[in-house]
Amino acid sequence: MTVTDAVTDAARDAEPGPRPAYRRDAAGERRRLAIQEAAARVIADPENSRLAARLLAEEIAEEAAAHGVRTFSESVAATHAAGLVHDRLAAFVRDDAAALDALVDPEGDGRFEYFGLRTVYDRYLLRHPVTRGVLETPQHFFLRVACGLARTVAEAGELYRLISTLSYLPSSPTLFNSGTRRPQLSSCFLLDSPRDELDGIYERYAQVARLSKYAGGIGIAWTRVRARGSLIRGTNGLSNGIVPWLRTLDASVAAVNQGGRRKGAACVYLEPWHADVEEFLELRDNTGEDARRTHNLNLANWVPDEFMRRVEADAEWALFDPKEVPELTDLWGEAFEAAYREAEAAGRYVRKVPARALYGRMMRTLAQTGNGWMTFKDAANRASNQTALPENVIHLSNLCTEILEVTSDAETAVCNLGSVNLAAHLTGGGIDWARLRATVATAVRFLDRTIDLGYYPTPEAEAANRRWRPIGLGVMGLADVFFALRLPFDAPEALALSTRVAEEIALAAYRTSCDLAEAHGAHPSYGDTRAARGTLHPDHYPDARPVHPGEWAALRERVAATGLRNSLMIAIAPTATIASIAGCYECVEPQVSNVFKRETLSGEFLQVNRYLVRDLRERGLWTPEVRDAIKRADGSVQDIASIPEDLRALYRTAWELPQKALIDMAAARQPYVDQSQSLNLFMAAPTIGKLSSMYAYAWRAGLKTTYYLRSRPATRIAQTTVAAVPAAASPAFSEPEAVACSLENPEICEACQ
The residues, any chain, with a CB within 8 Å of residue 121's CB and separated by 6 or more, are 56, 60, 134, 138, 602
Q: Give the count of beta carbons closer than 10 Å to the beta carbon of residue 291.
A: 8
Report the SS3 class of residue 652. coil
The phi, psi pair for 585, rounded to 5°, reads -75, 155
Task: Supply φ then ψ for residue 134, to 5 degrees.
Answer: -75, 145
The amino acid that residue 671 corresponds to is P
Side chain identity at residue 247, one-letter code: R
Distance CA 394, CA 184 (A): 24
Q: How many residues does the chain have?
A: 753
> Residue 129: what are its φ and ψ, rounded to 5°?
-65, -20
Sign of CA dihedral 733, 736, 741, 743: positive
Give the Cα separation of 415 and 405 in Å (integer).
9
CA angle 485, 488, 493 (to 5 degrees): 70
- Burial tier of 263 (Cβ tally within 10 Å: 0-12, 13-18, 19+): exposed
223-254 burial, b at 16+ Cβ within 10 Å, e below that, comes to bbbbbbebeeeeeeeebebbbebbbebbebbb
Q: Are 264 and 257 in contact (CB under 8 A)?
A: yes
Query: Residue 683 contacts by C-beta under 8 Å, 6 or more apart in sequence?
Result: 655, 659, 690, 691, 694, 709, 710, 711, 712, 751
Give the C-alpha distances (Å, rounded to integers) separating 247 from 195, 250, 362, 682: 18, 5, 20, 29
Catalytic residues: 398, 400, 402
Question: Please, are residues 477 and 582 in contact by the beta-carbon 8 Å criterion?
Answer: yes
DSSP assigned state of 534: T
Of 738, 721, 447, nearest in space to 570 by CA: 447
* Residues 88-96: contacts with CB under 8 Å, at least 24 apart: 89/144, 89/147, 89/148, 89/179, 92/147, 92/150, 93/147, 96/153
Q: Which segments of 265-354 does DSSP mark as H helices, in order?
A: 277-280, 305-313, 333-345
Please state, in angstroms and rounded to a whole number, the distance separating the CA atoms of residues 19 and 27. Answer: 10
DSSP annotation of 714: G
Torsion angles phi and psi, residue 444, rounded to 5? -65, -40
Q: Find the DSSP H helices in 132-197.
A: 138-149, 153-164, 172-177
Nearest to 365 by CA among 439, 497, 270: 270
Rounded distance between C-alpha atoms, residue 189 and residue 274, angstroms: 23
What's the angle, vertex CA 340, arms to CA 336 and CA 341, rounded to 5?
Answer: 120
Burial of 727 (0-12, 13-18, 19+ CB in 10 A): exposed
- Give which of 359, 337, 385, 689 is closest to 509, Cα–Cα: 385
User: DSSP secondary-structure letter at 198?
Assistant: H
